[in-house]
Structure 1
Amino acid sequence: MNEVLMIAGMAIATFSIRYVMFGASSRLTLSPAILSALRYVPPVVLTAIVVPEVLLSDGTLYLSYLNARLVGAIAAVTVCALTRNLLLTIVLGMLTFFGWQGLFSPLG
Structure 2
Amino acid sequence: MSASDELKKLAPLGETKPDVMKAFVAFDTAVMADGALPKKTKELIAVAVALTTQCQYCLAIHTDMAKKAGATTEELAEASFVAAALRAGAAITHSANHVVDGK
Q: Which has the higher helix share?
A: 2
Q: TM-score, normalised by structure 2?
A: 0.31
Q: Which has the larger radius of gyration?
A: 1
